[in-house]
Amino acid sequence: MTDNRVRSIVIVGGGTAGWMTAATLARILGPDYAKITLVESDAIGIIGVGEATIPQMATFNRMLGLDEDAFVRATKGSFKLGIQFVDWARIGHTYFHPFGRYGLDMQGVSFHAYFQRMHLLGEAPDIDAWSLQAQAAKGNKFMRSIDAGNSPLSDIAYAFHFDAGLYAKFLRGYAEARGVVRREGKIVDVRLRGEDGFVESVVLESGEAVDGDLFIDCSGFRGLLIEQALGAGYTDWKRFLPCDRAIAVPCASVEEWTPYTRSTAHRAGWQWRIPLQHRIGNGHVFASDHMSDDEATAILLANLDGEPLAEPRTVPFVTGHRNKAWIKNCVAIGLSGGFLEPLESTSIWLIQSGLSRLLTMFPDRGFDPADIHRYNRIMQTEYEEIRDFLVLHYHATQRDDLPFWDYCRTMEIPERLAEKMRVYRAHGRAFRENEELFNDTSWYAVMHGQLLKPRSFDPVAGVMSLDETRARLAHIREAVANSAEYMPKHRDFIAEHCAA
Ligand code: FAD
């Protein structure tokens, strides 16, 4: 059998996607399998936002064999236990979407079914009381899991906030130490092979061509290879997710480092707040059909914790995905493959997911269309599933104060989401479908948080007597409260383990 393996991989772009790709391939393929080259242009730079993550990020770090404290220190990062949503369901209302699970599933029935039963009876007003992550977030507490038997302290789910520029640098050091070669220069042309249209090389301003067998397009929104050279086409989801611009600005830090991202709904979108060790990242995501840049900037600047540390920067975007993320010998990873607005911090996860699926379907130089088709199908489903979860936040609102929210509340939504909402309204049931990213806890947290009202509760939760349900819920609530009490302050935890 001839050796048909990919011998040369060219990564186009050195943002979060480019360096995550370089680090992953260097780690998994090792130094001798293929030559890995990354081309980036300092003159073009990176997008420089994208600083909140989900718990899967820890799996990525473990796959690379990173020391977590070194990673947090190098990126001036902090820890994240979930997202606080302010003014989303209605003005003045706040809820928390925590990582991890609520309470404890019992007798094969999910905890939130028991909660739902007691909630309908008026006995369990606040679901946060059964989430250690939510309780810790309220007290600005953080620690990693310890071995504490069946205490909630044994299972603390968390993610990170980090400085995107420092993260790319950190991964660059990792990848270069494992043999990845970085080429500086602006790509001015993409050459396609005459006979089959495969990408043959990228040409730098200097006139030098960088050729390869496999090209990974990490060039950001512009999609230099996947769109500009190969014409993948783009599915635009603005009708479901109408925001299409963001204004970003960092500001000075404050005394307490909150271990969560905050998302505050505004007149035509929402504002993120991401606390790092050296600053707070802020941004206002909004719909340009309903608001001007000037108005969006004014709202952002009026809602900062401290002094702005830079000029506000505008980032236009189109929510959606490339019709094909993989064409011939080119795979788009990161913003070049698509973008879902940052409401649930899922873009870095989509990079991770794209990479893991690429490794599952890793090609040889035959680039079998069956492999490529499967990859594209799975990535498209992943985008659709996350899209639906994001749409839920906008659609399941009681806000009727402004045209933007009227549109969101009354717009037509994807059928898959409509079904989930119907099922929830019937008996308060929430499900994870197949391998979708967000699990039943997340769906429940947001449906409950957005004040959707189920008519009843899961009948199987009624198998347990009311007295026993009451007693068990009280017991779990107490364990959660005691655990939160035990945890150190987030700031103290960082000072002890990973201060920048
Ligand atoms: P980029 O950072 O744009 O990198 C593109 C690279 O390609 C650069 O190195 C550039 O120099 C290079 N390049 C481009 N053209 C050329 C050329 N001609 N020649 C040579 N090099 C070239 N994600 C999250 O997970 N959490 C968040 O909280 C989050 N918030 C976000 C907020 C906003 C407003 C936006 C827009 C995105 C957010 N994201 C978030 C997404 C996240 O920022 C991106 O997924 C991530 O930064 C990856 O970007 P990238 O590497 O694909 O693109």
> Residue 183's domain is classified under what CATH number?
3.50.50.60
Regarding whether 34 and 66 lie in a shared domain, the answer is yes
Residue 41 Cβ inside 6 Å of ligand 1? The answer reads: yes
Query: 26-36 in b/e burial notation, b at 16+ Cβ within 10 A?
Result: beebeeeebbb
What tokens were used for 24?
A: 């992953």
Q: Give me the helix-helix angle, 16-29 and 164-177, nearest 10°.
A: 30
Regarding whether 373 and 335 lie in a shared domain, the answer is yes
Regarding whether 227 and 176 lie in a shared domain, the answer is yes
Regarding whether 168 and 147 lie in a shared domain, the answer is no
Regarding whether 141 and 191 lie in a shared domain, the answer is no
Regarding whether 476 and 361 lie in a shared domain, the answer is no
Domain boundary among 363, 384, 405: 384
Regarding whether 144 and 124 lie in a shared domain, the answer is yes
- Quote the ligand 1 centre to 219 CA distance (angstroms): 8
Regarding whether 179 and 147 lie in a shared domain, the answer is no
Question: Which residue do the tokens 């035959």 mark?
Answer: 366
Let me know how many helices (H) and strands (E) the chain has, helices first: 14, 21
Residue 287's CB: how many other CB atoms inside 10 A?
A: 20
Which residue out of 201, 217, 219, 262 has the highest number of ligand 1 atoms within 8 Å of its CB and is therefore the one to mutate?
Answer: 219
Residue 18 Cβ inside 6 Å of ligand 1? The answer reads: yes
Q: What's the pLDDT score for residue 254?
A: 81
List residues bridging with 320 in a β-sheet.
236, 339
- Quote the ligand 1 centre to 211 CA distance (angstroms): 23
Quick one: which of 118, 96, 143, 85 has its CA closest to 477? 118
Distances (CA, A) of 280 to 72, 210, 290, 304: 15, 39, 27, 9
Q: What's the pLDDT score for residue 255?
A: 79
Domain boundary among 346, 367, 384: 384
What tokens were used for 44?
A: 């073009």
Residue 169 Cβ inside 6 Å of ligand 1? The answer reads: no
- Render each residue's pLDDT in the chain as its tens digit; 500 residues: 678 999 999 999 999 999 999 999 999 999 999 999 999 999 999 998 879 999 999 999 999 999 999 999 999 999 999 999 999 999 999 999 999 999 999 999 999 999 999 999 999 999 999 999 999 999 999 999 999 999 999 999 999 999 999 999 999 999 999 999 999 999 999 999 999 999 999 999 999 999 999 999 999 999 999 999 999 999 999 999 999 999 999 999 887 899 999 999 999 999 999 999 999 999 999 999 999 999 999 999 999 999 999 999 999 999 999 999 999 999 999 999 999 999 999 999 999 999 999 999 999 999 999 999 999 999 999 999 999 999 999 999 999 989 999 999 999 999 999 999 999 999 999 999 988 999 999 999 999 999 999 999 999 999 999 999 999 999 999 999 999 999 999 999 999 999 99
Measured in degrees and rounded to the nearest 5, phi and psi for residue 31 equal -75, -20
Residue 187 Cβ inside 6 Å of ligand 1? The answer reads: yes
Cα 93 to its chain centre, rounded Å, is 24
Q: Is residue 293 part of a domain?
A: no
CA separation for the pair 369, 484 (Å, rounded) = 52
- Do residues 285 and 245 lie in contact, with contact meaning Cβ atoms separated by under 8 Å? yes
Answer whether 0.85 is exceeded by the pTM: yes
- Do residues 164 and 51 lie in contact, with contact meaning Cβ atoms separated by under 8 Å? yes
- Quote the ligand 1 centre to 52 CA distance (angstroms): 14
Regarding whether 486 and 426 lie in a shared domain, the answer is yes
Q: What's the pLDDT score for residue 3?
A: 87
Find the angle CA(403)-CA(343)-CA(397) to the nearest 5 degrees: 40
For the beta sheet containing 261-266, the strands, ordered from the edge strand earlier in sequence to the opposite edge, are 94-98, 82-86, 261-266, 269-275, 280-286, 245-251, 313-316
Regarding whether 122 and 68 lie in a shared domain, the answer is no
Q: Is residue 51 part of a domain?
A: yes
Count of domains observed in the chain? 2
Q: Helix, strand, or coil here: 354?
A: helix
Regarding whether 459 and 421 lie in a shared domain, the answer is yes
CA separation for the pair 99, 83 (Å, rounded) = 8
Active site residue 138: no
Q: What does the DSSP 8-state code read for residue 23? A: H
Find the angle CA(345)-CA(77)-CA(13) to the nearest 5 degrees: 60
CA separation for the pair 86, 94 (Å, rounded) = 4
CA separation for the pair 134, 158 (Å, rounded) = 11
Measured in degrees and rounded to the nearest 5, phi and psi for residue 274 equal -125, 105
Which residue out of 40, 47, 261, 321 has the highest number of ligand 1 atoms within 8 Å of its CB and is therefore the one to mutate?
Answer: 47
Q: Is residue 178 part of a domain?
A: yes
Which residue's alpha carbon is at the smallest distance from atom 29 of ligand 1? Answer: 50
**Amino acid identity at 78:** S
Residue 218 Cβ inside 6 Å of ligand 1? The answer reads: yes
Q: What's the pLDDT score for residue 1?
A: 62
Q: Is residue 94 part of a domain?
A: no
- Quote the ligand 1 centre to 25 CA distance (angstroms): 19
E runs forming strands in 319-454: 320-322, 326-327, 330-332, 338-339
- Do residues 348 and 57 lie in contact, with contact meaning Cβ atoms separated by under 8 Å? yes
Q: Is residue 71 part of a domain?
A: yes
Quick one: which of 3, 27, 23, 28 has its CA closest to 11? 23
- Quote the ligand 1 centre to 457 CA distance (angstroms): 43
- Quote the ligand 1 centre to 220 CA distance (angstroms): 5
Give the domain range for residue 437: 106-156+414-491
Q: Is residue 211 part of a domain?
A: yes
Regarding whether 182 and 64 lie in a shared domain, the answer is yes
Q: Is residue 28 part of a domain?
A: yes
Residue 348 Cβ inside 6 Å of ligand 1? The answer reads: yes
Question: Which of the following is catalytic: 76, 80, 328, 420?
Answer: 80
Three-class secondary structure assignment of 98-144: ECCCCCCCECCECHHHHHHHHHHCCCCCCHHHHCHHHHHHHCCECCC
Domain boundary among 369, 384, 399: 384
Question: Which residue do the tokens 């990974």 mark?
Answer: 216
Question: Which residue do the tokens 């000037």 mark?
Answer: 294
**Amino acid identity at 46:** I
- Do residues 309 and 252 lie in contact, with contact meaning Cβ atoms separated by under 8 Å? yes
Q: Is residue 194 part of a domain?
A: yes
CA separation for the pair 29, 34 (Å, rounded) = 7
- Do residues 68 and 493 lie in contact, with contact meaning Cβ atoms separated by under 8 Å? no
CA separation for the pair 332, 35 (Å, rounded) = 19
Residue 39 Cβ inside 6 Å of ligand 1? The answer reads: yes
Atom of ligand 1 nearest to the CA of 188: 18
What tokens were used for 43?
A: 């003159």
